[in-house]
Each structure stands twice: as structure tokens, then as C-alpha cells.
Amino acid sequence: MNAKKLKIVVTRKLPDPVETRMRELFDAELNEADAAMNAEALVAAMSRADVLVPTVTDRLDSRLLARAGERLKLIAQFGAGVDNIDVATAVQRGITITNTPGVLTEDTADMTMALILAVPRRIVEGVKIIEADQFTGWSPTWLLGRRVGGKRLGIIGMGRIGQAVARRAKAFGLQIHYHNRRRVSAAIEEELEATYWESLDQMLARMDIVSVNCPHTPATYHLLSARRLALLKPHAYIVNTARGEVIDESALARMLEKKELAGAGLDVFEHEPAINPKLKKLPNVVLLPHMGSATLEGRIDMGEKVIINIKTFADGHKPPDRVIPSML
């Protein structure tokens, strides 16, 4: 297969170095306007492309994939998660799926740690007071937050990002606990001084801070349900830089409003970009617009992975980041 003649359709605007390289290597159709494609536009793109390069906001469900043209052979996702794609249907139709794992680990872990610090220390509240010109001088009881060091951090999902969060948190003096589908190696547990909990319920009931770092799958939808959220202590904080669907957002908002939880730091939302209005009104909640992985370096690294996956596929080999249903 001649890579130069491959028709590539990119659904959103990517960093200039990535787009330039794509134009050099492929017959690449770019989205200069950076406008999200609706369902019909996605179907049209799939009908004229050999390779589609979507992002995590492009919903490629079974109905859309059923309308994909025979020409489409590769969906090279610009993103680590693939919960927006019906991978099983795509594979059944002979379409290969790739993603970009690993390159955003450190950036997302940095943002997670930033929220772990920002919420208990009430940093955003302080910024808003300065912006409103309401600071009248220091006082011994002014904007008292909670100390982070010495607290128990429960990490849900101990993959690459969870482990990177644990390393940062350990440096800040947090005690590391985790729940994962599979226990990590003894060497990693020893390095992180991490305590494994097979029971998520038992871990949640004992944590001061909980960090969500697992992917969104059918098994993790509302993993933090109203019942599980009620297990947390009233002084506990929740941080989520993974996927909004993992938490029952309505239940979380109700508990925060009733002060049944101390606070939350959220970079993702269940019905993104819509956000529960209650969350916006609460002073003990830090809300970010899905920017956990948003560094220029990270986005360029993602683009390079996409290009490598396409080039490898064009050369007749299995792409290094091929996704298969059994992996999910």
C-alpha cells in the first residue's frame, strides 16, 4: 500500500507540526475550522477515507460504523481512550483500530496532583477572592484548608497514569492505597509503598482522598455510584481526571451540596461538555475543562504515534498500538 496515496481524514485540528507531517506523508484532509463533525459528516468522512483520524469526542457507534464505506480500513484514534468507538463492530467489519497510549501519562498525572493539592488547600477559592478584590488582610482562621501530607490516597486504576500519580503523591507524603482489576507486581508495590485493596468498597471507606484513574468501560460506568460515594468519609475529597462516566455525577453533586463530602476536583464530566449546574455553584469544587493532558508536547507526541500507526499499517504490518476487543 502506498502511504503517500492513502486518503486520511482528520476530524479536528491538530498541532501544526503534526498536520504538516501528515500532509507530507499522506493525502491528508485536515479540519482547519476545528468544528466538531456531526454524525452525517462522520459517515461522509468514513465513506471517502482509507484512514479516519478521530478524537475522543467523535462518537463512532455501531450504527455509524455500519454506514462506513468499504474503503475505510483503519481508524487511528488521536487519544488513548477508545470508549467513543464500538471496537467490536469495527473489527467485525475488517477495520483496524489504533490509539495513542502512554504519551499522556505524565501530563495527566501532573494535573491530577495539581487537583489533589488545589481542592483541600482551597486554592481556587483564594484566587476568586483576589479577583473579586475581597482580600482584606491575613487572619489566623482565614481560608483554612486541610493538610495533604500524611493523608491516605486511594487510587482507582493502577495503570500507567495511576502509578505516575502514586509516585508524585508519595513525594508529597501521602500514603498510597489502590484498587485495580489486577494487583500490580510486588516490585511496584514496594517502590510506591502501596497497599492493595481487592474490595473497592473497603478501600473507599478508609480514604481521605480518592483519585479516579481508570478507563471508561461498561464495567466502570458509575463505578462510583451513589451507594459507593456514601461509603466515603465526610472529610474525603474526590479527584477525577479519567472519564466523567465513572462517577454518578448527580449523586456526587447532591453529596457535595449537603456537605457529605469535603470537596471535589473534576477535569471530566459525565455528560461533557454539559456540567451539572449544582457543581458550578459549589465553592468546594474545582472544575477544569478537560485539560488534564493538554500540553503542546503531549499533543505532538500523540500525533507522532498516530502517524507511526498509519505508516506501519500502510507497510502491511500490524500497527504498534492496535486495539482489539479482548484488551478492553
Same domain flag for 112 and 259:
yes
Same domain flag for 123 and 244:
yes
**Identity of the amino acid at 9:** V
Residue 240's closest CA among 230, 229, 231? 229
Structural domain of 78? 3-103+295-327
Can you give the CATH number for the domain in which 323 is found? Answer: 3.40.50.720
Burial status of residue 144 (CB atoms within 10 A of its CB: 0-12, 13-18, 19 or more): exposed
Same domain flag for 117 and 264:
yes
Query: Average pLDDT for residues 106-125, to the nearest whole number?
Result: 98
| pLDDT number for residue 313 | 96
Angle at CA of residue 148, ends 144 and 149, nearest 5°: 130
Active site residue 63: no
Of 3-7, 56-60, 245-249, the range with the lowest mean pLDDT is 3-7
Gap between the Cα atoms of 37 and 113, Å rounded: 33
- What lies within 8 Å, CB to CB, of 244 at 6+ separation is 266, 268, 269, 270, 271, 272
The total number of structural domains that make up the chain: 2
Which residues does residue 152 pair with via DSSP β-bridges, in sequence order? Answer: 175
Same domain flag for 277 and 312:
no
Same domain flag for 205 and 245:
yes
Q: How confident is the model at residue 36 (pLDDT cuts 50, 70, 90)?
A: very high
Is the separation of the CB atoms in 211 and 239 below 8 Å?
A: yes
Same domain flag for 128 and 276:
yes
From 222, 290, 304, 322, active-site residue: 290
Tell me the pLDDT tens digit for each residue of 94-110: 999 999 999 999 999 99
Residue 328, pLDDT above cutoff 60 = no
Q: How confident is the model at residue 327 (pLDDT cuts 50, 70, 90)?
A: low
What percentage of the chain exceeds 90 in pLDDT? 94
Gap between the Cα atoms of 254 and 226, Å rounded: 10
Mean pLDDT computed over every residue of the chain = 96
Q: Is the peptide bond before 273 cis (omega within 30 degrees of 0)?
A: yes
The DSSP secondary structure of 74-131, one letter per residue, reads EEE-BSS--TTB-HHHHHHTT-EEE---STTHHHHHHHHHHHHHHTTTTHHHHHHHHH
| pLDDT number for residue 5 | 86
Q: Which three cell numbers stand for residue 228?
A: 459507593
**CA-based R_g, the chain, Å:** 22
From 179, 243, 245, 249, active-site residue: 243
Tell me the pLDDT tens digit for each residue of 222-275: 999 999 999 999 999 999 999 999 999 999 999 999 999 999 999 999 999 999
Tell me the pLDDT tens digit for each residue of 155-203: 999 999 999 999 999 999 999 999 999 999 999 999 999 999 999 999 9
Query: Average pLDDT for residues 31-54, to the nearest whole number?
Result: 95
Q: Which three cell numbers stand for residue 133?
A: 478584590
| pLDDT number for residue 324 | 86
Active site residue 272: yes
Q: What is the pTM of this model?
A: 0.89
Same domain flag for 157 and 22:
no
Same domain flag for 121 and 264:
yes
The strand pair at 96-98 and 322-323 is best described as antiparallel
